[in-house]
Amino acid sequence: MIEIVTAVCFVVLAVSALLSVGRIVGGHSVADRALALDALLIVVVVGVAVGAVRTGSGIYLDVLLVVALVAFIGTTAVGRFIERRGVR
Amino acid sequence: MIATLADVVTSLLLLASVGFVLLACVGLYRFDDVFSRIHAATKATTLGVILVAAATALALRDPGDTAKLAIAAVLQMISAPVTAHVIGRAAYWSGGELSPETVVDQLADRAPGREG
């Protein structure tokens, strides 16, 4: 049962990642793209956790923490750059 | 194979979590200015991360893993509003366009340097 549910979760996460990439490619401003990259990294975080449930092993949870931190720091840094240089 | 109650609860939490993440990304793709996209993307992904952390903690049942997942959930709860604030403020003050359906812009008279 867990195998089927996690497979469904991976498919849904793939669709979410595609929508985020669509916003990154077609985004109107740097702020949109930074936000979409943040959402894409959150999709990665959730995907790592779903993978941990599927394999029953927690060895990749450190990766989850690091990706969450990188998403926060990266998006905040890009926000500061936008403030200095303009949204386009 | 008989599904235990913990498996059922884990599955429901996982499906709810990826559902919220999917809604966030649909909103990110469909909404038509950066501020409504921030609204869609930060709140729903926070709930998604919290739910998936609960599901994974329930599935693994290891104290160390539970601690890591709790740290991830708390970090997301702290960092998502900060991210939304930084991106929203940067987009507004550097001339990000408001949606034509915007009802009120309370900063309009305080923004002479705004390009948009």
Domain ranges of chain B: 7-96
* pLDDT tens sequence across B16-40: 999 999 999 999 999 888 899 999 9
Q: A64, A80, A81: best mutation site toward chain B, by most B Cβ within 10 Å?
A: A64
Q: How far is CA B46 from CA A37, A80, B18, B36, in A?
A: 15, 22, 11, 16
Q: What is the pLDDT of residues A7-66, one digit of tens each?
A: 999 999 999 999 999 999 987 888 899 999 999 999 999 999 999 999 988 899 999 999
pTM of the model: 0.89
Nearest CB partner across the interface for B56, out of A16, A49, A75:
A49
Q: Return the pLDDT at B116.
A: 47
pLDDT tens sequence across A65-79: 999 999 999 999 998
**Does the beta carbon of A63 lie under 8 angstroms from any beta carbon of chain B?**
no
Provide the pLDDT for residue B110: 74
Please report, for chain A, the start and end positions of each structural domain, with discontinuous segments joined by +.
2-85
pLDDT at B100: 80
Backbone dihedral region of B79: left (phi > 0), alpha (psi from -120 to 50 degrees) or beta? alpha
Backbone φ and ψ of A57, nearest 5°: -130, 140
Quick: pLDDT tens for B87-116: 999 888 887 778 888 888 887 777 655 654
pLDDT of residue A82: 85
Above 60 in pLDDT, residue A88? no
Q: How far apart are CA B28 and CA B15, in angstroms?
A: 20
Q: What confidence score (pLDDT) does residue A35 get?
A: 92
